[in-house]
Structure 1
Amino acid sequence: MKIKIINLISKKFVLALGFLIAVGNISFAQSLQEEVEMFQAVFGMEKKDMTMAFMDNEGDTAFWMLYDEYEVQRKLLGQKRLQILVNYANTYGVIGDEQTDELMKVVMTQKKSLDKLIDKYYKKIKKSSGSKVAAQFYQLENYILSAIRLEILDSIPFFDEFD
């Protein structure tokens, strides 16, 4: 299961990141917003299928209502993360110290927001579906998120590559 998740995430995010870097001089306009929403919808369906296979709790309606609620909020944060990547691509090679510091503040805030969201839904799921189901949710979300973060970091240049 882990290899299947990594392969799916790797293929999808390498393509998405390549697209974002290729459009580095484009602002986060309506057409790009529509592309992001389409990508999120497709990934969201595939992610839900993976979650169903991993969780094996299809009849737990309380969990799935919370999961869908979580996904709406996660996608909003995902759009912010993509905006950060677009900004990074737009400033690649010309970013100064102050802009780098501002970018890093935004990156750290976004990371904390997503981690807090997962923690919040762990607690809600634990209350409605039990600790084991909540732990599975937490484990899978963090596994997928870690794979995505690794893929992003592997796909973008380091700051020292500017010089």
Structure 2
Amino acid sequence: MSNLMLTTLLGALLSSASLFGQDTASANVPLTEDVVLRLFGRTREAVFTEMLRVGRGEQPAFLETFYAYAEEKMPIAQMRSVLLRDYNEKYELLDEPLLHNLTKNILKNDREFVDLQTRYYRRMIKVLGANRAAMFFQLDNYLDQSERLYLQNGLPFIRELETGRRLAATRLQPPGH
């Protein structure tokens, strides 16, 4: 997959405010399906099949692996959403032990996701070969990171960092700008 294609996809994801009009408190399912449908007007599997140039002979094995991966990924993505929502909702009440526990659970969730990808990378190699298996996870990670960016953007800490960054940038500008 070309860098231009991924750059175009990222630009479309980040510039389309209507895609992210959903409140994180009501987001019980990952946004990826909705994002893909809105951007491409077709299902996630159709986008992957086209972008990876999955041939007719490969399609049954690919889709079987794709659906199994999506099914196993769903609870991990949902848990991440729950953890981030808990952080956002309880931000004012978080003390050291609660924050420590929440952070440990987020890191555990990340490990589970990487373990899932590792297992399915091996399966995708058998179906698509190493090159297109790598491309599959590049696209999957890209969509996942876009979703995470959206969720993270709603967290108070991020807003504080952005405010600090804007203040620092203002101080660094030469007079008259």
Aligned position for 2:47: 50
TM-score (normalizing by structure 2): 0.68
Query: For the structure 1 residues 8 and 83, does the alpha-carbon distance in structure 2 shift closer, same or farther, using more than 3 Å as the test?
Result: farther
1:144 aligns with 2:112: no
Contact 1:55–1:137 under 8 Å retained in 2: yes
Provide the identity percentage. Answer: 19
Deviation at 1:57, TM superposition (A): 0.7
SS across alignment from 2:92? coil
| CA deviations over 1:75-97 (Å, ceiling 9, x no partner) | 11111111112211221112001
Q: What do the CA deviations read for 1:23-59 (whole angstroms, capped 9, x no partner)?
A: 4xxxxxxxx5xx6349565457643233223211152
Equivalent positions of 1:90-101 (< 5 A) are 90-101=89-100
2:164 alignment partner in structure 1: none
Q: Could you say if the C-alpha distance between residues 58 and 155 of structure 1 is closer, same or farther in structure 2, counting changes exceeding 3 Å?
A: farther
RMSD: 2.8
In the alignment, the residues of structure 1 paired with residue 88 and residue 96 of structure 2 have an alpha-carbon distance, to the nearest angstrom, of 16
The answer to which structure, 1 or 2, has the higher relative contact order (CA under 8 A, 6+ apart) is 1
Shift in CA distance, 125/146, structure 1 to aligned 2, threshold 3 Å: same
How far is 1:3 from its partner?
A: 4.0
Structure 1 pair 4–13 and aligned structure 2 pair: CA distance change class (3 A): same
Shift, 1:12, TM fit: 7.1
Pairwise CA distance, 1:116: 1.2
Residue segments in structure 1 that go unaligned for 5+ positions in a row: 24-31
- Does 1:2 find its partner at 2:6? yes
SS across alignment from 1:57: coil
**How do 1:1-163 residues align onto structure 2 when only pairs under 5 Å count?**
1-7=5-11, 9-10=13-14, 11=17, 14-16=20-22, 19-20=23-24, 23=25, 36-37=28-29, 42-43=34-35, 46-59=43-56, 60=58, 61-158=60-157, 161=160
**What CA distance in whole angstroms lies between the structure 2 residues aligned with 1:4 and 1:69?**
28
Amino acid at match of 2:120: Y
Tell me, yes or no, if the aligned pair for 1:63 and 1:125 is still in contact at 8 Å.
Answer: yes
Q: 1:81 to 1:44 in 2, by over 3 A?
A: farther
Distance 1:150 1:48, change over 3 A: same
Mind listing any 5+ residue stretches in structure 2 that lack a counterpart? 38-42, 161-177
* AA aligned opposite 1:69: A
